[in-house]
Structure 1
Amino acid sequence: MTAAIFVLALAACVSATMIGAWLIALRTGRSGWIDAIWSFATGAFGAAAALVPFADAEITVRQVLVALLALLWSLRLGIHIAARTARGGDDPRYSQLREEWGKAFNTRLFWFLQIQALAALVLALSIMLAAHNSAPGLRFFDWLGVAVLIVAVAGEALADRQLSDFRSDPANKGKVCDVGLWGVSRHPNYFFEWLGWSAYAIIAIDLSGAYPWGWLALAGPLLMYWLLVHASGIPPLEAHMLRSRGEAFRDYQHRVNAFWPGPQRAADAKPDGDIR
């Protein structure tokens, strides 16, 4: 199989999967299944892209390693979202879209999920580029990428646990979580999600110039940063938090960086006006 044919087949499979997610969301009324399915699909298709042999070449240790990393990320995040959705929790961003789109919600959601399918394709190809780095054996940057992804998965899991524990305490009802990792970033789960995609670029890039295709793997973390910070992540979620938490969340915005972890500012300090 040539790389071009595989990419076309992969695109068709990702598109079909998100059509299935669309149908499930409409049937169940729970949009959380969309993100769970997207997470499982991106990891599974990424692992498949990592392991596919081109030009009858044998599967390398790097391909297997990268595939395992993709599955580790996918299973952790997908199971977390699926468990939250099964308990009745849902993502407020989709509720806001339902209000904004009104009667056109079903149709617009279909095309919105096809955009998500395109994003998943780009991320899966970033995984493929890392796995098919032609450098012999495993290098320092391979192990560095593994370490970065493990830190990212562990950090995101810790952030999710801290938020879950905070919300489960009745004394915190109506309050803004600013404990643990949430005290150094308003969205530590998003930060670690972005960090995990940087791991594939670290593995893919060959500074010697022997594998120029590896630089294209930067599309993964660049796309994820844009989605999380400027598109479907922070902006709609913070708009929801301002509606539901009001001044408490506005004070939190003044004190804590949105994305990049850092020390808290004084409560009366003015925000810089950018996403940090």
Structure 2
Amino acid sequence: MLNSLLLTILICIIVCVIIMGIVWLWAKKINNAGVVDIFWSFNFPVIALLLLILADGFQTRKWLICGMVIIWGSRLGTHLGRRVIKHLHEEEGRYTQLRKEWAPKADQKFFTFFQAQGLSNVFLSVPFFIITQNKEPELSIFEFVGLGLWVIAILGEARADWQLDQFKKDPDNKGKLCDTGLWHYSRHPNYFFEWLIWISYFIFALGSPYGFLAIISPAIILYLLFKVTGIPATEEQSIRSKGELYVQYQQTTSAFFPWFKRK
């Protein structure tokens, strides 16, 4: 069983780093590193498909968790893809800033960055590896609770993305900040629901042996959102583009939790 799991992990690593290598070549050609976000999302459905084929756990459980991952990753990747493709030759501000900071070796550093993203796909998939190895023929309460929370979270994330898209489509909103719907209560409701999705995977994994180890995934996602590529980079770019308007928005809204509105 251990050898089979290690082989599965190794195959997932090889596939993800190859995908990210190809994506880096494309990004280098079009001078737009933002495409990495699209394929970081799509790599999770790829891993899920590999687990459907390679993992030897209970089939119903495998199909359930892999279906959840495929739906979530495909929706997120498609959403990001539409956004990036619209401005394919105009790199997002976060990556433009990195390109400046990493000059004159930006291409080499972006290659390392892309490969790290591919490895992170596999590392963050700890819950999926644990769950798809579970041969217990009955689903547990943890798995039903995890599924229920996942439904709420993915609908919330999709709602937040839709609200922002609708706001941006209105030409009257050019230069303005989206502060309607969920965005009225949180500066990053999409990030919040994204994290909640990872919490649902952790809860689902608790129904399997060693499922507690899956806590590493939502913990890392939370750290990345608050300290690395999520909120800090996004807000720095928003301040650069919106200035005082965004600073005022920061002062009246929660950075993360949608139900906490500042006075």
CA RMSD of aligned residues (A): 1.8
| 1:272 counterpart residue number | none
Distance in 2 between residues matched to 1:165 and 1:78, nearest whole Å: 18
Distance apart, 1:180 and its partner CA: 0.5
Residue 238 of structure 2 corresponds to residue 237 of structure 1: no
| Structure 1: unaligned runs, 5 residues or longer | 267-276
Partner residue, 1:261: 258
Once the two structures are TM-superposed, the CA of residue 101 in structure 1 deviates from its matched residue by 1.3
What's 1:25 paired with?
Answer: 27
Aligned-residue identity in percent: 36
Note the C-alpha offset of 1:23: 0.9
Task: Select 1:40's aligned residue among 39, 42, 63.
Answer: 42
> C-alpha distance in 2, partners of 1:48/1:220?
19
- Cα distance change on mapping 1:69 and 1:137 into 2, 3 Å: same
Measure the CA separation in 2 of the matches of 1:2 and 1:135. 18
What is the rounded CA distance, in whole Å, between the counterparts of 1:162 and 1:255 in structure 2? 19
Q: Spell out, residue by residue over 1:58-116, the C-alpha distance to the aligned partner (whole angstroms, 9 max, x if none).
A: x4201110010010001101111111122116532111111211221101101111221
In the alignment, is the contact (CA less than 8 A) between 2:153 and 2:194 conserved in 1?
yes
Counterpart of 1:265, as a letter, is R
> 1:53 corresponds to which letter in structure 2?
A
TM-score (norm 2): 0.92
Give yes or no for contact 1:30–1:85 (8 Å, CA) kept in 2: no
In 1, the alpha carbon distance for the partners of 2:227 and 2:49 equals: 28
Deviation at 1:118, TM superposition (A): 2.0
SS in 2 for 1:2: helix
User: Where does residue 49 of structure 1 map in the other structure?
Assistant: 51
Q: For the residues of structure 1 that align with 2:20 and 2:243, how far apart are their CA atoms?
A: 34
CA spacing shift, 1:197–1:158, aligned 2, 3 Å: same
Write the distance in 2 (CA, Å) between the matches of 1:127 and 1:29. Answer: 34
Partner of 1:98: 99
Equivalent in 2, 5, 8 of residue 6 of structure 1? 8
Cα distance in 2 for partners of 1:191, 1:223 equals 14
Residues 50 and 66, structure 1, Cα contact 8 Å, conserved in 2: no
Structure 2 residues not aligned, in runs of 5+: none
Question: TM-score, normalising length from structure 1?
Answer: 0.88
